[in-house]
Amino acid sequence: MMGSTPARLILPASRLSLGIILNHPLRILVTAFLAVACMATIPLGQHVAVAADANKDGTSQPDFTRGDAIPEGYVHDWNLGPTGLRGWIHSDRLETSDARQIKITQVEAGSPADGVLRVDDVILGVGDKPFGSDPRVAFGKAITAAETPTQDGKLNLLRWRAGQTDVVTVKLPVLGHYSETAPWDCPKSQQILDRGLTALAERVGDPSYRSVPITRSLNALALLAGGREDMLAQVKKEAQWAADFTTDGFKTWHYGYVITFLAEYVMATGDDSVLPGLRRLALESARGQSTVGSWGHRFVGSDGRLGGYGMMNSPGLPLTISLVLARRAGVDDPEVSEAIQKSSRLLRFYAGKGSIPYGDHHPWIQTHDDNGKNGMAAVLFRLLGEAETAEYFSRMSVACHGAERDCGHTGNFFNMVWAMPGVAESGPYATGSWMNEFGAWYFDLARRRDGTFLHQGPPQARNDSYRDWDCTGAWLLAYAIPNGNLHLTGKGDSSVRKIERAEAESLLDDGRGWSNNDRDRFYDSLDTEQLMSRLSSWSPTVRERAAIALGRRQDKVSDRLMELLESGELDARYGACQAIKWQRGRAAAAVPKLVAAFQSDDLWLRILAADALAGIGEPAKSAVPDMLRRLASNDLSNDPRNMQQRYLSFALFNQRDGLIGRSLEGIDRQLLIRAVRAGLTNEDGRARSSFSSVYTNLSFQEIQPLLPAIHQAIIEPAPSGIMFADGIQNSGLELLSKHRIDEGIELLADYARTQKQHGSQKRIIVVMKMLESYGAHAQRVIPQLEATANYFEHEEQDFPRNLSRDKARIVRETIQKIKLSTDRPELRSLNLAL
């Protein structure tokens, strides 16, 4: 390894199965952390090269010591703590775990690294050893260690420059150790908070200060949380901005944070001059809520329904928190209280079942949090005095770290902002353990030398949605939690149980063993006994991972799963159902015990039992009559959103894997009709759409009793599940046009204009084809179609103009075909058909 040829240490990249396919169509969950153990010492003057395995996108990891360049378009680099450096790190499928080099992209003048490193230098390791694992994590941990008195601020790095490798030292200020209960009783946390607040106050006080409304509100909240009188002038100025705030953009995203700041300001200072603005914002938000209690990208339209993607919990949760705080601050209005009640009812359902998902969807069980929404929920339900619910979501927050916490949908901004507030609900040992596991290195890597923070983002090659957002206030709020100055961060009495260190460590362990590139290996390495034990976990995520791992094996575990199904522990019974589902037909013997579980008083056990029966498939069809009877019934006092009906719709009627989604042979028609009629009124659009299979599997004579319900499902879209609400409308219209139902002509003409915009450029083609099938009969709606074409051409808002013009052209082409048609097929009347 000596001589003129540089040493080359090949560090093989991990290429493991992606494993579980995410089952939610809207969610692109991105998480990553995989430590590859490989430590080596190389003599000074030599360097480390990296393996050039191809990424998923076809690019290769560059080796900067051999002259490779940063791949074009891969612009994401990282703040490297308070060193004054920024550096580029190779990422693959949202992980930096395979990288072994950091290329310096920026050196701040006058910073600790100035004169020690320069642009295009390559950091190969910490101390005199090359990186043997994720360099981003290793560098962050090295900063944490360097800031202790033991290392006296000395950050030793293995630097490569122009073919020469040397150990160099960057001298950092000594801040001390993180305490075992950080940020509580932690001098280092206090120093970070003090320095950060000083820098933030200077920034906010600048007359030219501007920021995204979300981060501006978080910055103001941090100044308020600091409790320093010398910063009250800046806080008051920000309160005046917030009281006057409005936007034509995505109000739901901004209002929650603006209202939260205003409410906290009023309660902290007693300044009621901003109350009119607070009341205005709160009432706008309450009135912008959907009929089911949700918010989306925007407030509801005149019909009380959301547009676009429909319900989105990421803005909805902060809005609900903000309304609770506004009510405490003096906005005592029935509309605000009703909005809180409706939203909390919707969100409460997810407690004990998984993470709060993207929208009105299944509980998210792939990871222990999803974009920070469990942290939001922990805060919300503590504010509402619901300790048990808050405790569950806080435990989920503690278990979310590393791979699970590092990423998120469109970026990890919210996953990080709400991490510590959620964790802190479980007390100082929870925060201290979580900081030791993940937060310390992550926060220290994000902290700049002046004490401020920028959004780092997930390990992805290109930009995320929040690139360069000012995270100073968000991160400082985490350090300010012990001050107890904000209701948001725990002010006042809390009945949420505080956990001990051993329990905190156990929760952290629950979050290990998963990364975006390595979802299966850890659980596949466990023996059957260990997996069976994990089926009884409190964590739905742990149970699901164990269930799926058992499903991949051929071990005969059905008898043991049936025993678990009769356990006295509800979590164990949940886990048994989850595992039986993944055993598929091998678990056919479990059908009688699943049918018994389906009679349980526990709603979620009934739902999971139905899901397991669907997973078994054909051998479980004996359960269909019981399931149909349940689907047709309502128990709104215990199940106000008819969730049982929703999940039974999927288990029975999904075309791909529903028990009777492909065939209705042998199914009692009267029982079926009652169940479908009830299901078509469910408030979830996706649940309604599952009944499309019935439309194709029944003859016209059999389906006649359902025609009024089918008609109603067309003209009254589901109030939730907006993204999928058009499914049953399209199927209904197709059914009416197929059988030439007269009333279908007007329904199609109306739908051409009133259908949701998303995807309408494709849907309009199908709608016009159906209308054409009526031949000359459709001539009576030509005036309406001409008005629709004119609307698309000249009036349609919030839609690409070229697509609107395309829709207008398609409608006008259809008008011409209808005008020329002489075909008059025999029509049936909806009323006569009954």
Eight-state DSSP code of residue 364: B
Residues 168-198: pLDDT tens digits?
999 999 999 999 999 999 999 999 999 999 9
Angstrom distance (rounded) from CA 264 to CA 326:
8
* Of 768, 782, 779, 694, residue with least CA distance to 737: 768
* Of 434, 404, 584, 419, residue with least CA distance to 511: 404
Q: Which two tokens stand for residue 248?
A: 């034509």
Is residue 443 within 8 Å of 478, Cβ to Cβ? Answer: yes
Angstrom distance (rounded) from CA 604 to CA 608:
6
Q: Which two tokens stand for residue 264?
A: 């906290």
Is residue 285 within 8 Å of 339, Cβ to Cβ? Answer: yes
Centre a 10 Å sphere on the Cβ of residue 596 and count the other Cβ atoms it contains.
12
Residue 718: the pLDDT is: 92
Q: Which long-range contacts (CB under 8 A, 24 or more apart) does 244-252 make?
A: 244/277, 245/213, 245/277, 245/281, 247/213, 250/297, 250/298, 250/315, 251/284, 251/285, 251/288, 251/298, 251/299, 252/285, 252/288, 252/295, 252/296, 252/297, 252/298, 252/299, 252/312, 252/315, 252/316, 252/319
Residues 285-299: pLDDT tens digits?
999 999 999 999 999
Q: Which two tokens stand for residue 465?
A: 């949605």
* 232-243 and 251-269 helices, crossing angle to 10°: 130
Q: What ranges do the domains of the chain cover? A: 211-348
Residue 468: the pLDDT is: 82
Q: How many C-alpha atoms does 610 have within 13 Å on its Cβ side?
A: 31
Q: How many C-alpha atoms does 378 have within 13 Å on its Cβ side?
A: 30
Secondary structure (3-state) at 114: strand
Sheet strands (E) in 84-203: 85-88, 102-107, 122-126, 129-130, 154-161, 164-171
Eight-state DSSP code of residue 439: I
Angstrom distance (rounded) from CA 446 to CA 77:
12
Angstrom distance (rounded) from CA 421 to CA 477:
8
Type of residue numbered 236: K
Q: How many C-alpha atoms does 208 have within 13 Å on its Cβ side?
A: 0
Residue 33: the pLDDT is: 29
DSSP string, 454-481: B----S-SS--TTTT-B-HHHHHHHHHG
Q: Which two tokens stand for residue 551?
A: 């499903």
**521 burial level (CB within 10 Å; 0-12, 13-18, 19+):** middle
* Of 253, 254, 257, residue with least CA distance to 314: 253
Residue 164 main-chain phi, psi, to 5 deg: -115, 135
Residue 516: the pLDDT is: 86
Eight-state DSSP code of residue 55: P
The rounded Cα 345 to chain-centroid distance in angstroms is 19
Question: pLDDT under 70 in the chain at which residues?
Answer: 1-59, 461-463, 832-834
- Which residue bears the tokens 């008008």? 815
Residue 94: the pLDDT is: 84
Residue 692: the pLDDT is: 95
Angstrom distance (rounded) from CA 51 to CA 26:
34
Angstrom distance (rounded) from CA 426 to CA 439:
16
